[in-house]
């Protein structure tokens, strides 16, 4: 089934803005990319394939997504070494799911830069999203990230 170009552009824009918001450290804007009823999780792909539900981040409702921002800005501030991130996302597939919703698969890599200028690959993996599109804009209903390997360092910020 063909996908409306306006919906395709809204989904592509959501994925681009998502990485840009996180890379700019604009964490207060991050929850606005999610629907009111939402899920954000990060798993090890190998564990998920074995049916293990152990996750790095398990935000099963909007309140927990908001809590994640509070932790980054208030709780962990000054207690962890900060690092900058750069997100690169490759949109792989969009499938209609009905009622303005789409299941979306993408691949991603997130690099990090430490305060001393040292750079590296933080994580790589795939995203399985459910995205709601209405009137040319899109929000995540579910964002499930599956990491291909162990993160290069601790995960403080959303991926």
Residue 1: count of CB within 10 angstroms of its CB = 4
Check pLDDT > 80 for residue 1: no
Give per-residue pLDDT as tens, 112-153.
Answer: 999 999 999 999 999 999 999 998 799 999 999 999 998 888
Q: Could you tell me the CATH number of the domain that includes residue 120?
A: 3.10.450.50
Tokens 């789409």, residue? 102
Domain-embedded: residue 152: no
Q: What is the span of the domain harbouring residue 57? A: 5-147
Domain-embedded: residue 64: yes
Q: How many domains does the chain have?
A: 1
Task: Concatenate the DSSP letters of all residues of 116-148 into one string.
Answer: TS-EEEEEEEEEEEEEEEETTEEEEEEEEEEES
Give per-residue pLDDT as tens, 40-72.
Answer: 999 999 999 999 888 999 999 999 999 999 999
In this structure, the strands spanning 34-44 and 137-147 are: parallel
Give per-residue pLDDT as tens, 79-120.
Answer: 778 899 999 999 999 999 999 999 999 999 999 999 999 999
Domain-embedded: residue 34: yes
Domain-embedded: residue 54: yes
Domain-embedded: residue 117: yes
Please tell me the predicted confidence (pLDDT) of residue 102. 98
Q: How far is CA 91 from CA 15, 18, 128, in A?
A: 8, 13, 11
Domain-embedded: residue 158: no
Please tell me the predicted confidence (pLDDT) of residue 54. 85
Check pLDDT > 80 for residue 77: no
Domain-embedded: residue 154: no
């Amino acid at each position: 089934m063909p996908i409306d170009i306006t919906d395709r552009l809204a989904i592509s824009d959501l994925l681009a803005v998502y990485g840009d918001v996180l890379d700019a450290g604009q964490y207060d804007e991050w929850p606005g990319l999610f629907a009111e009823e939402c899920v954000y999780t990060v798993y090890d792909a190998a564990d998920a394939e074995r049916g293990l539900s152990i996750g790095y981040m398990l935000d099963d409702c909007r309140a927990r997504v908001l809590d994640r921002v509070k932790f980054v800005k208030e709780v962990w501030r000054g207690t962890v070494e900060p690092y900058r991130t750069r997100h690169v996302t490759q949109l792989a597939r969009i499938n209609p799911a009905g009622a303005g919703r789409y299941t979306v698969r993408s691949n991603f890599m997130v690099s990090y830069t430490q305060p001393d200028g040292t750079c590296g690959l933080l994580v790589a993996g795939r995203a399985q999203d459910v995205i709601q599109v209405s009137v040319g804009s899109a929000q995540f209903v579910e964002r499930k990230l599956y990491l291909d390997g162990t993160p290069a360092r601790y995960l403080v910020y959303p991926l």
